[in-house]
Amino acid sequence: MSKVILKGGTIWTADSVYVADIFIQDGIIKTIGQDIQYQADEVIDLAGKIVMPGGVDVHTHLDAPVGETTTIDDFASGTVAAACGGTTTIVDFATQQKNQGLVETVEMWHEKAADKAVIDYGFHISVTDLYEGSMTDLGKVVDSGVTSFKIFMDYPDTLMLDDGEIFRVLQAGGRYGAKVCVHASNGKVIDRIAEDLVYQGKTGPEGHLLSRPPATEVEAVNRAIAISRMADAPLYFVHLSTEGAAYALAEAKDHEWPVDGETCTHYLTLDKELYFKPDFEGAKAVLTPPLAGEKDRDALWKGLRTGSLSIVSSDHCPFCFEQKKIGIDDFRRIPNGGSGIEHRIQLMYADGVVAGRLTPQQFVDIVSTAPAKAFGMYPQKGQIAIGSDADITVIDPDGVTKISAETHNMRTDYSLWEGWERAGRIVRVFSRGEEIVRDGVYVGAAGRGSYLKRRTI
Amino acid sequence: MSKVILKGGTIWTADSVYVADIFIQDGIIKTIGQDIQYQADEVIDLAGKIVMPGGVDVHTHLDAPVGETTTIDDFASGTVAAACGGTTTIVDFATQQKNQGLVETVEMWHEKAADKAVIDYGFHISVTDLYEGSMTDLGKVVDSGVTSFKIFMDYPDTLMLDDGEIFRVLQAGGRYGAKVCVHASNGKVIDRIAEDLVYQGKTGPEGHLLSRPPATEVEAVNRAIAISRMADAPLYFVHLSTEGAAYALAEAKDHEWPVDGETCTHYLTLDKELYFKPDFEGAKAVLTPPLAGEKDRDALWKGLRTGSLSIVSSDHCPFCFEQKKIGIDDFRRIPNGGSGIEHRIQLMYADGVVAGRLTPQQFVDIVSTAPAKAFGMYPQKGQIAIGSDADITVIDPDGVTKISAETHNMRTDYSLWEGWERAGRIVRVFSRGEEIVRDGVYVGAAGRGSYLKRRTI
Amino acid sequence: MSKVILKGGTIWTADSVYVADIFIQDGIIKTIGQDIQYQADEVIDLAGKIVMPGGVDVHTHLDAPVGETTTIDDFASGTVAAACGGTTTIVDFATQQKNQGLVETVEMWHEKAADKAVIDYGFHISVTDLYEGSMTDLGKVVDSGVTSFKIFMDYPDTLMLDDGEIFRVLQAGGRYGAKVCVHASNGKVIDRIAEDLVYQGKTGPEGHLLSRPPATEVEAVNRAIAISRMADAPLYFVHLSTEGAAYALAEAKDHEWPVDGETCTHYLTLDKELYFKPDFEGAKAVLTPPLAGEKDRDALWKGLRTGSLSIVSSDHCPFCFEQKKIGIDDFRRIPNGGSGIEHRIQLMYADGVVAGRLTPQQFVDIVSTAPAKAFGMYPQKGQIAIGSDADITVIDPDGVTKISAETHNMRTDYSLWEGWERAGRIVRVFSRGEEIVRDGVYVGAAGRGSYLKRRTI
Amino acid sequence: MSKVILKGGTIWTADSVYVADIFIQDGIIKTIGQDIQYQADEVIDLAGKIVMPGGVDVHTHLDAPVGETTTIDDFASGTVAAACGGTTTIVDFATQQKNQGLVETVEMWHEKAADKAVIDYGFHISVTDLYEGSMTDLGKVVDSGVTSFKIFMDYPDTLMLDDGEIFRVLQAGGRYGAKVCVHASNGKVIDRIAEDLVYQGKTGPEGHLLSRPPATEVEAVNRAIAISRMADAPLYFVHLSTEGAAYALAEAKDHEWPVDGETCTHYLTLDKELYFKPDFEGAKAVLTPPLAGEKDRDALWKGLRTGSLSIVSSDHCPFCFEQKKIGIDDFRRIPNGGSGIEHRIQLMYADGVVAGRLTPQQFVDIVSTAPAKAFGMYPQKGQIAIGSDADITVIDPDGVTKISAETHNMRTDYSLWEGWERAGRIVRVFSRGEEIVRDGVYVGAAGRGSYLKRRTI
């Protein structure tokens, strides 16, 4: 039906950089070539622009109950923000509550997303409560296209599974071809350190940092790898933040163990000094694991270049400052999470490619191609190639982006990158061939996103 | 009062080998020299014999409740067997039951030992239940000379502490100068694997082996090291059995972390094939962790030579075959433990020194000097030097020892080394200058052992 | 001028696998798409066929003096064989003789290749003799498109440079943006071991194996890495054959040192047992380093998957059996080298992809894309993308290939893979849009190859 | 004949610390005990003093041709200084000149030492020129008690052997039971870097530092280990100075390879900043390898504690400042070497034990026991035990030592530790029972030292 030609842009893929036209028909990339002569409904000149596969963000928490509150972005506001930031696919975490069925959990998330999401979306299922028959239910969930599970080694009182339960979920992952995502921090030790800090009167946001030393992550990473090998199942680490974790993954990959991991925008760009800001401002940066220091950031960038880490996600888990104040007297009650679904691609482009830390190919891979491959969506998503969905993000390398809570599309009333000005501007975004963002403004229809039934591995 | 000269023996210490006389007065080594001219009540000719410091066995379970039964040797039979085997000091595990106080636990063990033990003895305290005030009680226990704690990462339903509790005990260890001993196996994962095996109908003794793959030990070792570093406390691993564990300790020592470890006689000399013997015979070898294979044994011997492991204990935890039969229908109910307090020195001499795996100095170190140093008893114990207790074991290198349940002094009705014949024979043993074993027979008084108040570190 | 459509093949690149048409104009890939409607001189149906970028072989020795003889394939026979085997680009080693100028050496190689080569070719320069002004001459050589140097740590009497000279060449590489290729074996030690073997009467071909234990390669690899870091210059290892070398590169890459390496077809597919064949047959396998065993082969395959190794070359260095007989009385005189330029792609396809050791993308990368990138030829060579040279190899996955000296196009009178039958058959090869091989027969013009001026790094 | 009792001192050995009397007869330790009642010619009260085995310095260069000059201490002045510093045994390097026989070299050194040395001495043989029959001569040299060889990987024009020759010497070491000592620096690369520096006009003493980056040592260490493993021979590294070297040895020891190493007093106590002192003062610190920085020093101390390094020697190679001036226009001509035979024990006591970096046992081991063991002199030397030579050094822990060229007994006219004041004072030294130093003054007879025929390993 619809025919569009994107003309003369510089195509960036995970493998190549070259100049070509892209011919799109009915939402699918049909032809790539020099000076394509086909007839089209629309020909869009992209000379001088960077044309890349739309971003794939595999770690978001929209409309999600967290601690004593709920994240402030729902699937409407969250996916509009994602789209404006060049992301055209998300995978959100459907999180089981204690005493809730797994199938029921996924259904609840379908309701949250349907008619609201403006880009394509899938779900992971977070398993927090094993019940009689839960392993069978995991199989049903996989059949419905939710082909990845998440387990927590943290938050003992609400979300954590013990090592035996983790082993069981990993076994199920191996059996069903589902990838198990791990939140790796030793929650039991963390709780004790936090207890000590509160006892010593250290109740402010910096307590969040101090109660979670890097070793609490590194230990859990090593333990999860060990258990996954006993269960003979592949593993994926969410939101890694430390040098020690990157090193552990490098070692595992040298041994060809099927282990993979992501870090997040904020770990690559922000410093732990934020926790020491006065007036409870530090609470804005309370997310888990906490921000680290320069040595860790350098190791994470290096990990992305050497392949020990392969994905950057946003871990978008947004709260307003008022929500953060739940923990004003005790950092343990501050809702954990930050908002960044909108800035992931921009910041990786600027602080990655422009700053010389990543090649264009590495950049495209970590924000789009690798996550699509890792979670059963490739080559439908994450690639500019014949037959792929025409999910395309266009960057003007001569543009400039200034980040501010006043202008961003997320509902949070602050930004961790407030005032940052960076080279490059996302000027157009296409989802299945349809232009949904122009000049930074969402111009698509409401609720146009589709559920993505993902493949097993 | 009493004056004895041990004449012309070849003295083996952890540092040297040389020929000399030893002059003992009132149970203390007073003089070492060539051709000592002092007057003595007795002069014992030891020409051609090996004269070494009496063995120090820091891992025994005498008169100890284990699972659904109790170990078969009490402090009388157990220490007589120890003495006959050349061991003159033991440190036994006083194990807290759930809902039992720590001070009370130690008192109970004093009662078990008093008037029964024939050699000097100390206690570790196994902490299995943290209660309000338990950390304060640990301080009291330390003050009474029980300067080491043990924690379990295994047996979730009875003995295991969670990682946060382990952190607390380690903090206490650091604060009080007490060494924390760790039983490192991931009990939660083991229980799940065992559950699977029983579900598959594999209920025999080999299930014990199969449910405890080496990675369950290695993971726990790495985790314990990580937690001890967060708690800033020294650590001691009991009964290590795998190459991976030896490697983890080597790495920790290269970093100068205060980590140390023991292996046991059976891991160095016996093979896992024992679990596959017919007629439930495999149950005799059910001890934890299970026996491993040749690769692991080689790594353990190597670890003793390179110093990643520094001690060999017996982990004497004796049961009769009848007791083992509690688990005839389910290997999980077989009482875990083996008996070997009597053969540790003999086997390390024969399979270590005679077989060329250890130097004489290494041998003396791992069975006597190093354990005395590690647990606050050196140089009173574990050394032949001026001022040390005259605890001395004499080996006839030309003698031969044949091991059999029919002849051993332990109460177990089988031996894991039944029929083994080895070079070397322990011919005399002195405890505080008093000859208590002659020609393999206990000749000392009943209940002559003293409680050893150990130093902190 | 010429317009060709390759219709409906399954395109394999280093990044993707998808079905599409390729439109080629004047030797360049102009368009890739579904159902391309352009007019063309020729439309070739490739449905069901694998369509991949033509192979790039960066390690050949054509018409090359080696020891007391000369390789048997010249640029005519060698490149015809390469083409028939699906390789469309080679980089050959121009090897300086003692007392020969570097510029003169390259000129000599231009003469050897011109009007003979049937595919595109470039040169490396092997530096064996540093003279006054040689570093300046290296600059001239680089300007002419020879942007990589080779140095030998082997063959002390003829080719080897000492560590100081290696340092100098590496400095020049860093300064000029040229990659330094290293033949890593400790020649001085090898010569002594060989001397001992001959002294002991072991003069047969197996002496070649025995005189070159794996450690002679591993040591040299580690030394070269150390020197390159002191010279601050990138490094490329030719013909790696051992687990230890793969491990050293993995470690270097984890540190982001600019080190890369190749292995060769024969190390991945053949065993050292060949050296023990009777009747001097072992001499046929005398190439350097020698073939290794299964453990090494596994490590090399693993290295290709994990990225510690990134390229497979042929190290085509062909001799007839008669030439090998120069060393009939002393293995040290056997010309070192094997012939395999024709079978590299076939064997990597069969023993890599079909055997499940490599993904299609990995296969394409290691035989075509990665070598083109590593040596300044990408994306002109090594890629199927808009703007690239239409160098394309077509494999029939349903075909079968049988290797034999009787049928191969190389001039060698034996094959190391004699009688091997493997799945897959190379049915068509295109060079710059021109079909030069059909059904395994060279159908292009003589001497049609062009010199490739390569880029610096 | 003579009978002496050393009364009530605190005996420090490599294994223990205890208070006892020592009875010496005819130069041999006969008895150790509490309150020894034997009759003696002399009873010396050492209450409150530290009594340790006399120091063993296995790396000295007395009366030795180096570059264009000769070391300023001969066997008379050098051994008097050693004795005053608490060292009672040295092993000096007999260095072969090109075209000189090995047997002849050792004879020459016997002439240098005889009737001059005041303490017992042995020789290593430095092999710098392999000739027809040199391997046989090495056997003769070993038979004469010179049971260790040294080879240089440095100084290409004068002393260096190539890797093949090193292999040959290692083979001989393995065959004869002689330990091969290695000077590990990549001399070929160093010469090129030095060449560059001089070309750039950097001719001052700091050029010595800059031309020898740490990697030149680390590379050579790894290479030597690799070659020794191929030759199946044990190895000893002299004068290690870098973290990388300590790490390489730790790794080798974890693998039980027979590799051992020393560092020297100056690497543990002095900083590379000395090279930047004005007025050619930096030349005083020109020794090889050069002094390093804090990170390396920390690693060397750590290496001594963890056992990767086991010995501290002086590498006494003394020159007057006037001799250093040979290199005033070109650092390459500055004679390499420093003087420190007199301060090794004092500085290791103060900066090791008093500063809390070493235990008393570790201190005694690294300066006395370990070198005696490593080079075939134990337990005759390096131990306080029955039957050992009564070589004994007495330290007053309440004394203070001030180092100055004005007061030291070495002939050098400067001290690298000028003005240092340290706790502890060496008050008495006994050699074979004879008191040769009292209150810091040599009181023994001239030329009283004996040649030590050392054992093989």
What CATH number corresponds to the domain at position C75?
3.20.20.140
From the number of C-beta atoms within 10 Å of its C-beta (0-12, 13-18, 19+), residue A406 rates as: exposed
One domain for residues A67 and A213: yes
Token digits for B323?
């007791």
Backbone φ/ψ region at A282: left (φ over 0), alpha (ψ -120 to 50), beta = alpha
Give the bridge partners for C402, in sequence order: C421
Separation in Å, CA of D152 to nearest CA in chain C: 15
In this structure, are D300 and D409 located in the same domain? no
**C383 with C372: CB under 8 angstroms?**
yes
Asked if D345 and D270 sit in the same domain, the reply is yes
- For residues A154 and A398, what is the distance between their CA atoms, to the nearest angstrom? 43
3-state secondary structure of B31: strand
In a domain, B81, yes or no: yes
Inside any domain, residue D142: yes
**Rounded to a whole number, what is the distance in Å from the CA of D219 to chain C's nearest CA?**
6
Average of per-residue pLDDT across C8-35? 97
Position B1 pLDDT exceeds 80: no
pLDDT value of residue C67: 86
> Do β-strands A421-431 and C42-45 pair in parallel, antiparallel, or remain unpaired?
unpaired
Looking at residue A432, its amino acid is R
Please indicate whether, in this complex, the C-beta atoms of A34 and C31 are within 8 angstroms of each other: yes
Task: Supply the pLDDT for residue D440.
Answer: 87
Kind and range of the H or E run holding D174: helix D163-176
Residue carrying the six token digits 């595919």: C119
Question: Is D313 in contact with D58 (CB distance < 8 Å)?
Answer: yes
The chains found to touch D (3+ Cβ pairs under 8 angstroms) are B, C
The contacts found for B189-197 with CB under 8 angstroms, 24 or more apart, are: B189/A163, B189/A164, B189/A167, B189/A227, B189/A230, B189/B216, B189/B219, B190/B154, B190/B216, B191/A164, B191/B156, B192/A164, B192/A167, B192/A168, B193/A167, B193/A230, B194/B331, B194/B332, B197/B331
Find the mean pLDDT for residues C45-69.
Answer: 97
pLDDT at B48 over 80: yes
Is residue C168 predicted with pLDDT exceeding 90?
Answer: yes
Q: How confident is the model at residue A1 (pLDDT cuts 50, 70, 90)?
A: low
Cβ–Cβ under 8 Å, residues B438 and B428:
yes
Q: How far apart are CA A214 and CA A242, in angstroms?
A: 6
Task: Write down the mean pLDDT value for chain D.
Answer: 97
CA nearest neighbour of D447 among D77, D21, D43, D35: D77
pLDDT above 70 (res A151):
yes
Measure D108 CA to nearest chain C CA, in Å.
31
Q: Determine, for residues A189 and B223 on separate chains, whether the beta-carbon distance falls below 8 Å.
A: no
For range C91-96, the mean pLDDT:
98
Best mutation target among D163, D197, D200 (most C Cβ atoms within 10 Å) is D163
Last residue of one domain, picked from the residues C333, C350, C374: C374
CB contact under 8 A, D308 and B32: no
Provide CB contacts within 8 A for C249, sequence distance 6+: C221, C237, C240, C259, C260, C261, C303, C308, C309
Q: What percent of chain B has pLDDT over 90?
A: 98
Please give the share of chain A, as a percent, with pLDDT higher than 70: 100
**What values do phi and psi take at C435, rounded to 5?**
-75, 120
pLDDT (average), residues A97-111: 97
Which residue among A156, A191, A226 places its CB closest to the CB of B219?
A226
> Residue B308: what pLDDT?
96
DSSP notation for D112-161: HHTTT-SSEEEEEEE-----TTHHHHHHHHHHTT--EEEEESS-TTTTBP
- Are residues A108 and A220 both part of a single domain? yes
Give the pLDDT mean for B243-256.
96
CB D398 within 8 A of CB D69: no
Whether residues C385 and A18 touch (CB distance < 8 A) is answered with yes
Of B193, B216, B222, the CB nearest to A222: B222
Give pLDDT tens digits for D3-23: 999 999 999 999 999 999 999
User: How many Cβ atoms are within 10 Å of A218's Cβ, its own excluded?
Assistant: 23
pLDDT confidence of residue B451:
98
Assigned domain for C447 exists: no
Strand D55-60 vs strand D87-95: parallel, antiparallel, or unpaired?
parallel
In DSSP terms, which residues pair with C4 in a beta bridge? C24, C42
In a domain, C453, yes or no: no
Of A162, A189, A227, the CB nearest to B227: A189
Q: What percent of chain C has pLDDT over 70?
A: 100
Tell me the angle at which helices B134-143 and B102-113 cross, rounded to the nearest 10 degrees. 30
8 Å CB contact between B424 and B364: no
**pLDDT, average across residues B260-285:** 98
CB atoms within 10 A of CB D143: 12
D428-447: average pLDDT: 96
Residues from chain D contacting residue C192 (CB–CB below 8 Å): 164, 167-168
| Angle B84-B86-B90 from CA coordinates, rounded to 5° | 100
Quick: pLDDT tens for D111-148.
999 999 999 999 999 999 999 999 999 999 999 999 99
Q: What is the mean pLDDT of residues B161-188?
A: 98
Task: Choose the final residue of a domain: A374, A403, A423.
Answer: A374
User: How far A157 CA sits from the closest chain B CA (Å)?
Assistant: 13
Q: What pLDDT sits at residue C291?
A: 98
DSSP track, D260-282: EEEEEHHHHH--GGGGG-TTTGG
Q: How many beta-carbon pairs below 8 A join chains C and D? A: 66
Percent of chain D with pLDDT over 70: 100
**At CB < 8 Å, which residues of chain A contact C?**
13-16, 18-20, 23, 30-38, 250, 253-254, 256, 302, 305-308, 369, 379, 383, 385-387
User: Would the CB atoms of C36 and A32 count as touching at under 8 Å?
Assistant: no
Q: Residue D155 pLDDT more than 60?
A: yes
Number of domains in chain A: 2
| pLDDT per residue as tens digits for the range A295-320 | 999 999 999 999 999 999 999 999 99
Query: Domain check: are D127 and D236 in the same one?
Result: yes
pLDDT of C125 above 70: yes
Point out the residue among A193, A216, A227 whose CB comes nearest to the CB of B189: A227
Least Cα distance to C311 among C91, C142, C147, C127 occurs for C91
Domain contains A348: yes
C11 and C87 fall within a common domain:
no
Range C34-42 average pLDDT:
94
Structure tokens at B140: 């009291």
CATH number of the domain within which B18 lies: 2.30.40.10
Minimum distance, in Å, between the CA of residue B144 and any CA atom of chain A: 28
Backbone angles phi, psi at B240, to 5 degrees: -75, 145
Mind listing the pLDDT tens digit for each residue in B78-103?
A: 999 999 999 999 999 999 999 999 99
Residue B214 in tokens: 């080496």
Task: Report how far residue B408's alpha carbon sits from residue D114's, in angstroms, rounded to the nearest whole number.
Answer: 62
Angle made by CA atoms D129, D132, D135, in degrees to the nearest 5: 75
Decide: D106 and D73 in contact? Cβ < 8 Å.
Answer: no
Q: Are residues B337 and B398 in the same domain?
A: no
Residue D381 inside a domain? The answer is no
CA C176 – CA C147 distance, rounded (Å): 8
Residue B205 CA to its chain's centroid (Å): 24
Handedness of CA B232, B238, B244, B246 (dihedral sign): positive
Q: What is the mean pLDDT of residues C273-281?
A: 97
Which structural domain, as residue segments, surrounds residue D26? 3-52+390-442
H or E, element range at B51: strand B50-53
* Mean pLDDT score, B276-288: 97
Question: What is the overall mean pLDDT for chain A?
Answer: 97
Name the strand (E) or helix (H) holding B124.
Answer: strand B120-126
Say yes or no: A211 and A120 in one domain: yes
B363: Cβ–Cβ under 8 A, 6 or more apart, which residues?
A: B12, B348, B349, B352, B353
Indicate whether A363 pLDDT > 80: yes
**Chain segment C242-272, per-residue pLDDT in tens:** 999 999 999 999 999 999 999 999 999 999 9
Q: Is residue A379 part of a domain?
A: no
Reply yes or no on whether the pLDDT at B127 is more than 90.
yes
Q: Which pLDDT value is given to residue B440? A: 87
pLDDT band at D1 (very low <50, low <70, confident <90, very high): low
Longest distance between any two alpha carbons in chain A, whole Å:
73
Looking at the fold, whether B286 and B334 belong to one and the same domain comes out as yes
At residue C400, the pLDDT reads 97
Cβ pair A20, A34 in contact under 8 A: yes
Secondary structure E strands in A319-420 = 392-402
Q: Which of D374, D406, D429 is the last residue of a domain?
A: D374
- pLDDT computed for residue C1 by the predictor: 57
Looking at per-residue pLDDT, the higher value among A37 and D56 belongs to D56
CA distances from D247 to B155, C20, D181, D224, D303 (A): 39, 55, 18, 14, 8
Is residue D195's pLDDT more than 60? yes
Q: Are residues D117 and D207 in the same domain?
A: yes
DSSP B340: -
D18 strand-pairing partners: D11
A214 shares a domain with A201:
yes
Residue D67 has pLDDT above 90, yes or no: no
The rounded Cα C309 to chain-centroid distance in angstroms is 13
Asked, for residue C382, whether it belongs to a domain, the answer is no
Q: A199 exposed, middle or buried (CB, 10 Å; 0-12, 13-18, 19+)?
A: exposed
D285-297 burial, b at 16+ Cβ within 10 Å, e below that, comes to bbbbbbbbeeebb
Burial class (CB in 10 A: 0-12, 13-18, 19+), D225: buried
In this prediction, residue B157 carries a pLDDT of 92
What single-letter amino acid sits at B183? H
The two three-digit tokens of residue C231, written as one number: 């010279």
In contact, A284 and A339? CB cutoff 8 Å: no
Strands D120-126, C50-53: pairing is unpaired
- Contact residues for B324 (Cβ-Cβ < 8 A; gap 6+): B280, B283, B284, B286, B334, B335
d(CA C170, CA B95): 65
Residues A45 and A93 in one domain: no
This model of the complex carries an ipTM of 0.95
Q: What is the reported pLDDT for A347?
A: 98
Assess contact for B78 and B64: CB atoms under 8 A.
no
Whole-number Å distance between alpha carbons of B184 and B168: 17
Q: What is the DSSP letter of B389?
A: B
Provide, as residue numbers in chain D, all residues whose Cβ is less than 8 Å from the Cβ of C162.
188
Which residues in chain B have their CB less than 8 angstroms from residue A191's CB?
164
| Closest-CA residue of chain D to C190 | D164
Query: pLDDT at residue D32 above 90?
Result: yes
